[in-house]
């Protein structure tokens, strides 16, 4: 989706590397003066919140506690806890799926099963978090309590069994029947009425309402809709640099929101609050409250991405049909069959929460619990397609609308791009506004304008390079010495989706772009292996088995290979900076492999040495990536 970054409903994988003793909770407790450790096995965050609360409450009794993720520590150290005076280990353990441990407690569970440790010096207590509607109620809590005793540990408090069916809800619903509407949130991300009374600085919790001044289609044909948008940031005091990202807060489609009211039989204009039951928690509400269900579903909640398994786990209790309830529970389990069912029925079929409610007629959860469970609607990030040197009061966006048919025959649409596509500047005399802020990036032009740059950006990956080229042109106008500016761009067809064709041609004619190489991957009937404003010889390895030597597929990496000697001279002799923007899964990887090959060939290096050479370019900031997957 064109240098767009969003992770709605997904958690980024975190890679941890630790010195040998960093995974010892005993050493950490000794260093920080703690004597209570509260381990949590948590899938949805509830057990983790309980553990944090318990560890903080320890000070009331003259003790000091810490919450700990068992996945991060060596649990064999439990046998050493007696080294700490007045020590205690508490285990807040949720049960997941069919009596399984949560993902972060799986290693602890495996260790308990295999351990032959002497835990006679360990004092412990266990609190389980479960739901009586499930067959394996609190199985994990019961097992940990039983197994620790078998290993010789001393239980100092009886096993506690929390019942979610008895409503271990994090938030309590309050419906407001008589409320001052001036105190009701209508889509603001932070401060109430912040959209009516705008005050800088603008950031994620205080976005600026930018006026949309231009929204034009960039492509001349094809099924896709590629667009160029311009946002007016006058009087906002917002500053940006070429290569930065603009974050846009979109709104969910009104027709989807209305269907929730119809399916769940709810008045979406009801004003309500979801209040945290833990009064001492810093997070008072899951989203700004008080507000209406309509506002929450429109501006605050992600309703278009496939829900995670923890949401299915919580919703299962509301399915009145036995087979539907069993299916939901199975998909939420950690069994191989359950994982496969979730992957096929939810992920690969791209079923969002609305589709699941439609396909499971007996599943009708209370709308307040559904709103509690759904993740927040995230801002979408776009690489800025302009230079502040040329456009100090505007931010340009280049994007492609996302729209596809799922395996169930539904038409799924990207939230932000379709919302932006339908925005019309000055519609009926009214400003069309976009909540936004700028996120700084490390994707920067070289400090010295004379340094050569090689830019590789197929499709909407060209976005930041439009800003780069604008800035190089401005520097040239200021009398600065500007180094070689080389662009490798790719699209499907020359006559359909060659973005910014006129602008690029003008930059080439003015001498700002010293080389413009364009690959048209789907133009199979072309008589030459590539189309470029820089003359290049034919390349037999790209030609199909046609008598006229027509090309089947040409991508940016093929153009790099053809220009490999020039590329090497720019990088090795000219200290050029390399920039890649676009698809991380295929294009960025293929381009990087091409650079490995070029470096190995012209630098007389082994493949391993070439890889190291490119990695060092990255470390020095001379090989920069702005990619998405």
The catalytic residue positions are: 383, 581, 626, 628
Q: Can you tell me which residue has the tokens 């209790």?
A: 317
Greatest alpha-carbon pair distance for the chain in Å reads 87
d(CA 307, CA 360): 14
Is the Cβ–Cβ distance between 464 and 382 less than 8 Å? Answer: no
**What is the Cα 317 distance to its own chain's centre?**
29
Relative to beta strand 380-383, strand 4-5 is antiparallel
Please check whether residue 136 is in contact with residue 103, taking contact to mean a CB–CB distance below 8 angstroms: no
How many CA within 13 A on the CB side of residue 323? Answer: 3
Q: What angle do CA 265, 270, 271 make, to 5 degrees?
A: 150
Beta strands in 311-379 (DSSP E): none
Number of H helices, E strands in the chain: 19, 25
Tokens of 496: 């359909």
Neighbour-count burial of 607, counting CB atoms closer than 10 A to its CB (0-12 exposed, 13-18 middle, 19+ buried): exposed
**DSSP for 120-133, written as a single string:** TT-EEEEEEEE-TT
Strands 485-491 and 515-520: parallel
Please give the torsion angle defined by the CA atoms of residues 444, 449, 450 and 455, in that order, rounded to the nearest 10 degrees. Answer: 40
Q: Which helix (H) or strand (E) holds 140?
A: helix 139-150
d(CA 618, CA 626): 12
**Distance separating alpha carbons of residues 624 and 461, to the nearest angstrom:** 13
The Cα–Cα gap between 347 and 287 comes to 26
State both tokens at 321.
């049909």
Residue carrying the six token digits 């290979």: 561
């Amino acid at each position: 989706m064109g240098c767009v970054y969003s992770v709605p409903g997904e958690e980024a994988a975190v890679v941890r590397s630790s010195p040998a003793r960093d995974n010892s909770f005993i050493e950490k407790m000794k260093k920080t003066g703690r004597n209570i450790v509260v381990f949590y096995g948590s899938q949805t965050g509830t057990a983790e919140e309980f553990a944090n609360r318990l560890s903080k409450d320890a000070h009331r009794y003259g003790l000091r506690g810490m919450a700990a993720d068992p996945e991060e520590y060596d649990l064999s150290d439990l046998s050493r806890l007696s080294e700490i005076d007045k020590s205690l280990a508490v285990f807040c353990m949720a049960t997941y799926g069919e009596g399984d441990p949560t993902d972060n407690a799986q290693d602890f569970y495996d260790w308990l099963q295999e351990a032959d440790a002497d835990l006679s010096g360990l004092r412990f207590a266990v609190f389980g978090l479960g739901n009586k509607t499930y067959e394996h109620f609190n199985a994990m809590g019961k097992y940990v309590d039983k197994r620790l005793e078998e290993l010789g540990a001393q239980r100092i408090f009886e096993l506690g069994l929390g019942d979610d069916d008895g409503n271990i809800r994090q938030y309590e619903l309050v419906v407001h029947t008589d409320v001052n509407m001036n105190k009701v949130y209508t889509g603001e991300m932070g401060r109430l009425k912040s959209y009516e009374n705008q005050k800088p600085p603008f950031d994620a919790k205080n976005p600026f309402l930018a006026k949309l001044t231009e929204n034009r289609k960039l492509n001349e044909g094809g099924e896709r809709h590629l667009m160029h948008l311009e946002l007016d940031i006058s009087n906002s005091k917002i500053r940006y640099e070429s290569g930065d990202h603009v974050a846009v807060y979109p709104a969910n489609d009104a027709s989807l929101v209305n269907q929730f009211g119809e399916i769940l039989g709810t008045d979406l204009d009801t004003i309500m609050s979801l209040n945290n039951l833990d009064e001492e928690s810093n997070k008072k509400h899951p989203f700004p409250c008080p507000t209406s269900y309509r506002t929450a579903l429109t501006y605050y909640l992600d309703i278009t991405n496939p829900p995670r398994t923890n949401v299915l786990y919580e919703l299962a209790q509301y399915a009145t049909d036995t087979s539907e309830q069993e299916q939901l529970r199975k998909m939420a389990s950690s069994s191989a069959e359950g994982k496969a069912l979730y992957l096929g029925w939810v992920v690969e079929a791209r079923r969002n929460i609305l589709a699941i409610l439609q396909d499971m007629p007996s599943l009708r959860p209370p709308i307040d619990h559904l709103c509690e469970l759904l993740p927040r609607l995230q801002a979408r990030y776009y690489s800025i397609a302009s230079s502040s040197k040329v456009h100090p009061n505007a931010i340009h966006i280049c994007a492609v609308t996302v729209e596809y048919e799922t395996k169930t025959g539904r038409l799924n649409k990207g939230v932000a791009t379709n919302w932006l596509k339908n925005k019309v500047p000055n519609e009926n005399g009214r400003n069309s506004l976009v909540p936004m802020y700028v996120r700084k990036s490390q994707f920067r032009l070289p400090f010295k304008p004379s340094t050569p740059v090689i830019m590789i950006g197929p499709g909407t990956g060209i976005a930041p390079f439009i800003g780069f080229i604008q800035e190089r042109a401005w520097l040239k106008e200021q009398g600065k010495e500007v180094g070689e500016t080389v662009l490798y761009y790719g699209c499907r067809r020359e006559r359909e989706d060659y973005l910014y064709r006129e602008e690029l041609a003008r930059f080439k004619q003015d001498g700002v772009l010293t080389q413009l190489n364009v690959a048209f991957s789907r133009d199979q009937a072309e008589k030459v292996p590539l189309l470029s404003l820089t003359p290049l010889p034919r390349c037999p390895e790209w030609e199909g088995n046609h008598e006229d030597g027509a090309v089947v597929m040409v991508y940016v990496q093929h153009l790099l290979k053809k220009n490999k000697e020039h590329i090497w001279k720019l990088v090795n002799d000219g200290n050029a900076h390399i920039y890649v923007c676009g698809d991380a899964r295929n294009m960025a990887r293929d381009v990087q492999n091409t650079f490995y090959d070029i470096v190995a060939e012209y630098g007389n290096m082994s493949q391993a040495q070439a890889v190291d050479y490119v990695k060092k370019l990255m470390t020095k900031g001379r090989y920069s990536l702005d990619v998405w997957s």
